[in-house]
Amino acid sequence: MVFPKKLIKGGSKVSKVIDLPKYGIRSILAKGVQMDFESGQNRVQVLKGIDWEVKRGDIQLLMGPSGSGKTTLLSILAG
């Protein structure tokens, strides 16, 4: 599945998230994921060019401090 650039939460742009076969195994491949939030004239970049690949059967851990963008990234990947 391919999600083209789209607007989320007040005009923020999200780059492509692609589900591709690799070596015959389905995987999720995210390239250059970015997310900005706008509030009035202020813009805050919360995700900055994230690349992430998850192969079928992989178990991966996503860690970071509160407010680092973990839930935002997973929400984008989930569509």
pLDDT (tens digit per residue) in 13-64: 555 555 555 555 667 888 888 888 887 888 888 888 888 888 878 888 999 9
- Distance between CA atoms of residues 75 and 24, nearest Å: 26
SS3 state at 68: coil
Burial class (CB in 10 A: 0-12, 13-18, 19+), 34: middle
Ramachandran category for residue 47: left, alpha or beta (phi over 0 → left; psi -120 to 50 → alpha): beta
pTM score of the predicted model: 0.63
